[in-house]
Chain A
Amino acid sequence: MTLQQEIRVSDELKTWLGKEAARHTSPPVSEADIRKCAIAVYWPEMPPRLYWDADYAEKTRYGGIVAPEVFNPFAWSIGIVSGAFLPDPISPILQRAGKGLNWLNGGNRDEFHAPMRPGDVITSVTSLDDVHTRQGGRFPMLFFTKKYVWTNHRGELVKVSRQTSIGVLGTP
């Protein structure tokens, strides 16, 4: 059975397109979380003060510390294996469809709205944005894109992220 035949039989996946698949609420964001994220992404340089110096940040237009755009408030949530990959019911179906494939990070398309601040509680809603196969190069490939919409506890839109994964049969 070829890869494309496997996907064609999975109408189950198509029913998830555009539908809310999962909803997660983060723990409250702390200054410490933001500081650590900034240290990591600027390592080994000291990160900008906006991300860790409350006195400095208060005098900026933000009025306080904000998180870098890459900040993940779901990191280290209780009961979630990996905050970088929030669980949802689509993943097992995709895993079955892509059995035996090597997975690659196909990239992101992200929009940034209200910055994240200490004290914020972020809600993420996951949906399946796209799934298709392509016969690329030597091997067939499976593409899927999940969409994550983040809002804060004030109801403000924080981020819309589309993340694509590529499953490749054989060595990429």
Chain B
Amino acid sequence: MTQSKDIPITPGLKAYIGREISRYHSQPIALSDIRKWAIAVYWPETPPRLYWDADYAKKTRFGGVIAPEDFNPFGWPVEKPKQMDFSDIYAELKKMGNSLNVLNGGGGAQFLTPMRPGDVITSVTIIDDIYYRQGTKWPMSFIIRKTTWTNQKDETVRISTNTQINY
């Protein structure tokens, strides 16, 4: 999707919109992965049983342990997943006078299907949009990444977006 913002982007940048940046799979989610995540994010309180007590979780509407929404199944890979090289994008930004200072512009997520022990999650990230806006001090580029997670049953688990600002 191309949006018209203050400053038109170069054809070189436009060509990256819709491009896939990365695609990788998680290890099968272990019950212990979920338990540890829940302990960390609820520390120092005991986390809700839904995230670690299989007997309790079986009796809920979920039918078993599920992961908290912010759970990251990609932690601790043996090999770091590869992602697209951004040097050409940065070269295009530099052509537009950008100094490549970076800010995290924030993002959001929709949580669809819960993650469960045994799930293998596939993450696909694309460049959803690139635009250029005149800020109060400098022109700023916005690169919007959209990440879709699906499980082994092809159910959509999560859709998230993140904005990278360069100025």
Which A residues are closer than 8 A to B by beta carbons?
27-28, 30-33, 35-36, 39, 46-47, 52, 76, 78-79, 81
Quick check: is B27 within 8 A (CB to CB) of the other chain?
yes
When distances are taken between beta carbons in the complex, the residues of chain A under 8 Å from B78 are 35, 39, 46-47, 52
Given contacts A39-B76, A39-B78, contact A30 B39 (CB under 8 A): no
Given contacts A78-B35, A78-B52, contact A33 B46 (CB under 8 A): no
Name, among B36, B44, B47, the residue most crowded by chain A CB atoms within 10 Å (CB to CB): B36
Contact with A31, one of B30, B36, B47 (Cβ below 8 angstroms): B30
Q: For the complex formed, measure the closest distance between the CB of A56 and the CB atoms of chain B, giving whole angstroms.
A: 12
B40: nearest chain-A partner, CB-CB: A76
Considering only residues 42-64 of chain B, those with a C-beta below 8 Å from chain A are 44, 46-47, 52
Quick check: is B20 within 8 A (CB to CB) of the other chain?
no
A30 to B28, CA, bound (A): 11
Asked if B27 contacts A78 (CB within 8 A), the reply is: no
The 16 sampled A-B contact pairs (Cβ below 8 Å) are A27-B31, A28-B31, A28-B32, A30-B30, A31-B28, A32-B27, A32-B28, A32-B29, A32-B32, A32-B76, A35-B27, A35-B78, A39-B78, A46-B79, A76-B35, A78-B52
Q: For the complex formed, measure the closest distance between the CB of B132 and the CB atoms of chain A, giving whole angstroms.
A: 38
Quick check: is B119 within 8 A (CB to CB) of the other chain?
no
B51: nearest chain-A partner, CB-CB: A78
Asked if A76 contacts B27 (CB within 8 A), the reply is: no
